[in-house]
Amino acid sequence: MLISGFVSVDILVANTALVNLLNILYLFIYATMHSSAPMIGNKVGEGDKEGVIKLIKAVIAFGIVFSVTMFVFLLLFSRFIFTIYANNTATQDNMTMIMPIFMLTLF
């Protein structure tokens, strides 16, 4: 909040829009991780080590595939998606510029 007075409005809007967008995308990965926890717990209780390892690998693979898919999707359709968040072309350009950095945090 303190630094927001020192950056331009376009960059601040771009940052806020990307934070909101990536929080929505992160919820899908977060929900998958939490919904898989009981299944992994059941496999641990059954003593099925192979099942535990398979489930953990599947969840990690889903997170990686989802992150890469969203990154490519946002790269290909960034102009269309960013027009939903901002009408100003300078803000859209800033969103396009800083989007890869934000996608690394999602990954």
Indicate the SS3 state at residue 88.
coil
Spacing of C-alpha 62 from chain mean position: 13
Asked if residue 1 is part of any domain, the answer here is no
- In angstroms, rounded to a whole number, what is the distance separating the alpha carbons of residues 55 and 73? 26
Side-chain-side CA neighbours of 72 within 13 Å: the count stands at 5
- Split into its structural domains, the chain has a count of 1
Asked if residue 40 is part of any domain, the answer here is yes
Asked if residue 6 is part of any domain, the answer here is no
Domain range holding 46? 12-106
Spatial contact of 92 and 83, defined as CB atoms under 8 Å apart: yes
Q: Indicate the pLDDT class of residue 79, thresholds 50, 70 and 90.
A: confident
pLDDT at 29 over 80: yes
Contacts of 98 (CB under 8 A, 6+ apart): 14, 15, 18
Q: Indicate the pLDDT class of residue 19, thresholds 50, 70 and 90.
A: confident
> What pTM does this model have?
0.69
Q: Residue range 73-97: average pLDDT?
A: 82
Spatial contact of 97 and 8, defined as CB atoms under 8 Å apart: no
Asked if residue 90 is part of any domain, the answer here is yes
Per-residue confidence (pLDDT) for residue 107, from 0 to 100: 65
pLDDT digits (tens, 9 = 90+) for 6-18: 777 777 888 888 8
